[in-house]
């Protein structure tokens, strides 16, 4: 059934506003230490290797688990925003390796509108708060459409706005999360339109799908898309006959229109996949899951202490927890576990939807923790073997649990849940929490060896016990004293929101309280590097060359061009891989160090245009490298014979760069120029305004012929099939705008009637 619950009391706009304000207040409160500058959010302090005097606030560890918050989300996102605001379309990134696609890389979120915030001071914080607000308010709106009363919807909105994925992950993988409940709101609007025999209702689906597609992380967006389909299946029985066909048509129209709007980005992405290296995304991810002990994070997120804290030991327990932090993607709080199981087992309405949400949680949680059979079911979905489900599915089961929790509270408040059935469901939740605690207990005891560290273990268990007692008491009171149902449920809704604030806020305690960036090396390179490249053995980590607009040979990214992936171990460093070519990563401790590889292959680095090498302070490099700059974080060495970005044989031509893609060239005779930028499908060149032929030069680069005399040479990169993609996007935008107009006309007609 569509839900037999009556509409919540006082459905005025003032009550709706109170719910929205409550969600917004929670987001602001949990981020207050950043807003008040008590602690710093800037990921560059931790991940650029230019940070000085960085000191944590109250707890050790880090405030998030994912270095890509800085390496790709901040650095490449900032580069995209700068390009857009400078009037350049960010198709290509000349600052990574020997050049690579930028928009097609996806994690840069190049055409995601909020990415423009990254040009601001603390823009990364503003972006994350915006995503949290959208997620929370959309969840509130979704539950209101399901006739959940305002206090419960607000508590659930806070719970998802501050969910485990937003608390821990924080790289581009979280960007699509905000639009999952928005897409489900669109499904509900489409269902209502179909039930009322009205056209439309699909525009919100289109907007949400488009935003998910361009937001920077295809894996998360894909899994969320599947979740939206499952939700729609759960709502299908609520419409019948021709109305059901209209509902399906509305959803199909919304999905197709949203994908059409995102077509240019998707074309760039799939073209890059065709020419790029993607590591385990070819299938090996199907065999990966989280350690069984990490299932304790389903109710006890902080059982193992702060993120990455005190794990320098080489012991097996420390290695297990490091692996967990390096691969996990979210958590559930104890009250959401209890109430979510209540929604699954004790609620009588939304039968098919609840069943499908429960099955989704079962299958994808089983896949996350490597449960036999269940992991096979998840891998069997189309593309499942190529997606890191264990890391990027958590927002879907987090939202499913929050929705089930809200449905349970609504039925308790309405008096439709028998107390015996509710208590049985809560007992099942208590057993689930007990199993999770048991799974992680032994490992947590080994990791938290010091007495003061045991507070995380004891505190986690105590919080769960308190929550269980409050939950049982509130359900009993709601059943025994009907006049107090609203109060009892309100207490649980507030507790759900406060619990989310407390668990999310714990991350802030590990944020940097003090620190500054040493930007002197950046200033030096900006004055001397020009269009050549630098290579780092530590400071100014990739992809922060892109952030500062400095061409950096190092790469720490996926995808990377396939030719670059093959080139790095063959010619530059045999003991590393191109997607972790950061001046420090070694495949084997017994192999050559990055410094040794640099000295051995110096000519190869120079041939790629490397003019400077950055090292940690007091690092001695042999001649012919010459030290030219020192700062507290960085020493800079100059190489004697770095090749220019564009050159002729034996230097016969005079080349004046006008940036990375435009050159003025003067040659005594017709010759061939080598352009030291990665050769990939999509490049073109014009000589004096006339298209000319490009051909491969060596293993990586491009060559073009020029006549004698002075010429203007202009290179340009555009993804193949871009014109067709832009046409499709234009049609998608027109369709969405037309849908908005028709919806407004329909509403005006209804109002007139």
List, for residues 304-357, the tens digit of each pLDDT value. 999 998 777 778 888 899 999 999 999 999 999 999 999 999 999 999 999 999
* 681 within a domain of the structure (yes/no): yes
* Contact predicate 561/673, CB 8 Å: no
pLDDT band at 9 (very low <50, low <70, confident <90, very high): very low
* 528 within a domain of the structure (yes/no): no
Predicted confidence (pLDDT) per residue in 276-290, tens digit: 999 877 777 878 899
* 309 within a domain of the structure (yes/no): no
For residue 298, the cross-strand partners are 332
Label residue 451 exposed, middle or buried (CB < 10 Å: 0-12, 13-18, 19+): exposed
pLDDT band at 650 (very low <50, low <70, confident <90, very high): confident
Length of the chain (residues): 753
Give the model's pLDDT for residue 314. Answer: 76
Give the model's pLDDT for residue 287. Answer: 80
Left if phi > 0, otherwise alpha if psi is -120 to 50, otherwise beta: which for 87? left
Give the model's pLDDT for residue 413. Answer: 94
* 312 within a domain of the structure (yes/no): no
| DSSP-derived secondary structure letter, 449 | -
Q: How far does CA 712 lie from the centroid of its chain?
A: 41
pLDDT band at 748 (very low <50, low <70, confident <90, very high): low
- Structure tokens that stand for 187 in this block: 């499904």
| DSSP-derived secondary structure letter, 654 | E
Q: For residue 702, give its domain range.
A: 646-717
Q: What is the mean pLDDT of residues 193-199?
A: 79
Q: What is the mean pLDDT of residues 110-135?
A: 96
Q: CA distances (Å), 82 to each of 43, 78, 363, in order?
A: 18, 6, 42
Contacts of 255 (CB under 8 A, 6+ apart): 205, 206, 209, 225
Contacts of 258 (CB under 8 A, 6+ apart): 205, 206, 207, 208, 209, 210, 212, 213, 732
Mean pLDDT estimate for the chain: 93
Q: Say how far apart CA 423 and CA 627 lie, in whole Å.
A: 72
117-131, 183-197, 556-570, 733-747: which has the minimum mean pLDDT? Answer: 733-747
Q: Say how far apart CA 540 and CA 582 lie, in whole Å.
A: 10
Predicted confidence (pLDDT) per residue in 636-645, tens digit: 999 999 999 9
Give the model's pLDDT for residue 200. Answer: 67
* Contact predicate 605/500, CB 8 Å: no
Residue 11 has pLDDT above 60, yes or no: no
* CA 143, 145, 146, 149 torsion-angle sign: positive
Label residue 746 exposed, middle or buried (CB < 10 Å: 0-12, 13-18, 19+): middle
Give the model's pLDDT for residue 334. Answer: 97
* 662 within a domain of the structure (yes/no): yes
Q: State the distance between the two ends of the chain, measured CA to CA, in whole angstroms.
A: 29
Q: Which residue has the higher pLDDT, 691 or 452?
A: 691
* 240 within a domain of the structure (yes/no): no
pLDDT band at 749 (very low <50, low <70, confident <90, very high): low
Q: Say how far apart CA 388 and CA 382 lie, in whole Å.
A: 13
Sheet with 635-638: list strands edge to edge. 533-536, 610-615, 635-638, 626-630
For residue 705, the cross-strand partners are 672
In this structure, are strands 533-536 and 610-615 parallel, antiparallel, or unpaired? parallel
Q: Which residue has the higher pLDDT, 12 or 295?
A: 295
Give the model's pLDDT for residue 308. Answer: 92
* 659 within a domain of the structure (yes/no): yes
C-alpha dihedral, 184 to 475 to 436 to 321, nearest 10°:
70
How many domains is the chain partitioned into structurally? 1
Question: What's the pTM?
Answer: 0.94
Q: What is residue 263's three-state secondary structure?
A: helix
| DSSP-derived secondary structure letter, 525 | H
Predicted confidence (pLDDT) per residue in 699-717, tens digit: 999 999 999 999 999 999 9
Give the model's pLDDT for residue 7. Answer: 41
Give the model's pLDDT for residue 195. Answer: 84
Q: Say how far apart CA 285 and CA 219 lie, in whole Å.
A: 12
Residue linked to tokens 């689906």:
205
- Structure tokens that stand for 406 in this block: 């809200």
* Contact predicate 49/547, CB 8 Å: no
Contacts of 373 (CB under 8 A, 6+ apart): 366
In this structure, are strands 560-561 and 512-517 parallel, antiparallel, or unpaired? unpaired
């Amino acid at each position: 059934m569509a839900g037999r619950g009556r509409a919540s009391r006082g459905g005025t706009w003032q009550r709706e506003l109170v719910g929205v304000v409550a969600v917004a207040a929670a987001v602001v409160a949990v981020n207050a230490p950043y807003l008040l500058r008590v602690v710093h959010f800037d990921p560059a302090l931790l991940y650029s290797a230019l940070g000085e005097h960085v000191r944590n606030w109250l707890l050790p560890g880090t405030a998030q688990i994912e270095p890509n918050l800085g390496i790709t989300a901040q650095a490449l996102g900032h580069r995209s925003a700068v390009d857009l605001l400078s009037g350049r379309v960010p198709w290509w990134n000349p600052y990574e390796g020997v050049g690579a696609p930028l928009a097609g890389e996806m994690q840069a979120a190049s055409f995601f509108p909020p990415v423009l915030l990254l040009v601001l001071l603390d823009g990364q914080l503003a972006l994350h708060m915006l995503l949290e607000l959208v997620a929370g308010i959309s969840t509130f709106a979704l539950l209101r459409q399901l006739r959940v009363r305002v206090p419960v919807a607000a508590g659930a909105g806070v719970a998802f706005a501050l969910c485990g994925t937003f608390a821990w992950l924080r790289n581009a993988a979280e960007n699509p999360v905000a639009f999952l409940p928005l897409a489900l709101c669109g499904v509900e609007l489409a269902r209502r339109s179909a039930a009322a025999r009205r056209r439309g209702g699909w525009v919100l689906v289109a907007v949400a799908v488009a935003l998910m597609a361009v937001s920077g992380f295809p894996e998360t967006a894909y899994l969320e898309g599947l979740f939206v389909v499952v939700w729609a299946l759960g709502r299908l029985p609520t419409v019948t006959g021709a109305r059901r066909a209209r509902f399906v048509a509305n959803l199909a129209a919304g999905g197709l229109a949203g994908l059409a709007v995102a077509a240019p980005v998707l074309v760039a992405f799939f073209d890059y996949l065709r020419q790029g290296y993607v590591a385990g995304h070819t299938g090996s991810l199907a065999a990966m899951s989280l350690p069984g002990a990490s299932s304790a994070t389903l109710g006890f997120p902080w059982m193992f202490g702060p993120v990455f804290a005190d794990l320098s030991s080489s012991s097996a327990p420390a290695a297990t927890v490091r692996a967990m932090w390096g691969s996990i993607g979210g958590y559930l709080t104890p009250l959401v576990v209890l109430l979510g199981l209540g929604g699954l087992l004790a609620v009588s309405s939304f039968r098919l939807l609840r069943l499908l949400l429960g099955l989704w949680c079962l299958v994808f949680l089983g896949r996350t923790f490597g449960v036999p059979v269940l992991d096979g079911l998840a891998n069997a979905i189309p593309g499942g073997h190529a997606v890191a489900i264990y890391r990027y599915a958590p927002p879907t089961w987090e939202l499913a649990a929050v929705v089930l929790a809200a449905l349970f509270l609504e039925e308790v408040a309405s008096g439709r849940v028998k107390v015996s059935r509710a208590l049985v469901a809560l007992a099942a939740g208590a057993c689930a929490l007990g199993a999770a605690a048991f799974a992680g207990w032994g490992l947590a005891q080994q990791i938290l060896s010091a007495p003061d560290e045991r507070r995380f273990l004891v505190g986690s268990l105590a919080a769960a016990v308190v929550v269980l007692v409050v939950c049982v008491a509130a359900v009993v009171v709601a059943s025994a004293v009907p006049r107090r149902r609203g109060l009892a449920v309100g207490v649980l809704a507030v507790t759900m929101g406060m619990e989310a604030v407390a668990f999310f806020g714990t991350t802030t305690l590990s944020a940097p309280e003090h620190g500054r960036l040493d930007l002197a090396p950046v200033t030096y390179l900006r004055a001397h590097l020009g269009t050549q490249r630098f290579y780092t053995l530590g400071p100014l980590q990739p992809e922060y060359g892109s952030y500062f607009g400095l061409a950096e040979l190092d790469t720490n990214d996926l995808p990377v061009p396939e030719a670059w992936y093959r080139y790095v171990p063959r010619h530059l460093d045999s003991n590393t891989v191109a997607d972790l070519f950061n001046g420090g990563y070694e495949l084997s401790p017994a192999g050559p160090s990055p410094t040794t590889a640099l000295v051995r292959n110096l000519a190869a680095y120079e041939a790629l245009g490397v003019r400077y090498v950055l090292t940690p302070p007091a690092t001695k490099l042999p001649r012919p490298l010459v030290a030219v700059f020192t700062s507290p974080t960085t020493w800079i060495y100059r190489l004697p014979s770095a090749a220019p970005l564009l050159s002729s044989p034996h230097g016969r031509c005079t080349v004046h760069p006008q940036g990375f893609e435009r050159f003025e060239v003067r040659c005594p005779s017709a010759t061939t120029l080598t352009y030291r930028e990665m050769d990939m499908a999509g490049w073109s060149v014009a000589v004096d305004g006339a298209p000319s032929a490009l051909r491969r030069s060596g293993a990586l680069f491009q060559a073009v012929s020029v006549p004698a005399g002075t010429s203007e040479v202009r290179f340009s990169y555009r993804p193949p099939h871009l014109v067709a993609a832009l046409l499709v996007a234009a049609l998608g935008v027109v369709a969405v705008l037309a849908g908005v107009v028709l919806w407004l006309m329909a509403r005006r007609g209804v109002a007139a009637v």
